[in-house]
């Protein structure tokens, strides 16, 4: 089995565990679309598709195992350990780690490689496919009421939209963004 399949299997199993901080839903509704966006962007922009795929699957693993706080750091540590276990290239492992460390839009990041930029972009894009999940987080994890959640979700989507840098990403997401802004007015 190749490394990408092993990593996908590892991530899926972590989401299925009763100890998973957010359960299985983020796997299906965040990761799967994000990986698709990331792989498409890698093809389109000339990024290393294997590195991008691995980083996309692993970018939130720290959040699933340990919780959201500093999940970019814990995720990079988990990724390094897992990829080493699978005898993955140390040079490419470093690039996967950089992608994970720099994927968060809320952090001040220096994204130097196309792969790092792709992971951050795909992560932002996937939010527009998972608006119910954003509401779930607002209600359950942030304890917001309906009015507060509506404002918070709108603000989050506006911020994600502003973080899109590739023209094709904006073209793909624009109809979803505009529809969300109408609904969340």
CB atoms within 10 A of CB 91: 8
Distances (CA, A) of 51 to 4, 29, 33, 127, 143: 9, 21, 17, 21, 36
Mean pLDDT of 2-20: 93
Domain of residue 56: give its range.
3-183
Q: How confident is the model at residue 1 (pLDDT cuts 50, 70, 90)?
A: low
Cα–Cα distance measured from residue 120 to residue 99, given in angstroms and rounded to the nearest whole number: 8
Each residue's pLDDT tens digit, 26-75: 999 999 999 999 999 999 999 999 999 999 999 999 999 998 888 989 99
pTM given for the model: 0.92
Residue 58 is part of a domain; what is its CATH number?
A: 1.10.3210.10
- Tally of structural domains, the chain: 1
């Amino acid at each position: 089995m190749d490394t990408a399949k092993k990593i996908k299997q590892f991530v899926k199993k972590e989401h299925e565990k009763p100890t998973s901080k957010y359960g299985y839903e983020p796997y299906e509704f965040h990761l799967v679309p994000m990986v698709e966006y990331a792989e498409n962007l890698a093809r389109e922009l000339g990024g290393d598709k294997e590195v991008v795929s691995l980083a996309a699957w692993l970018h939130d693993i720290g959040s699933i195992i340990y919780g959201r706080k500093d999940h970019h750091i814990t995720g990079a540590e988990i990724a390094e350990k897992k990829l080493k276990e699978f005898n993955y290239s140390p040079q490419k492992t470093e690039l996967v780690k950089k992608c994970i460390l720099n994927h968060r839009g809320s952090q001040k990041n220096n994204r130097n490689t196309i792969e790092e930029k792709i992971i951050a972009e795909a992560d932002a894009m996937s939010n527009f496919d998972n608006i119910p999940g954003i509401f779930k987080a607002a209600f359950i994890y942030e304890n917001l009421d309906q009015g507060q959640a509506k404002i918070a979700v709108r603000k989050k989507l506006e911020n994600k939209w502003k973080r899109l840098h590739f023209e094709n990403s904006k073209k793909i997401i624009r109809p979803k963004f505009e529809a969300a802004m109408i609904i969340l007015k």
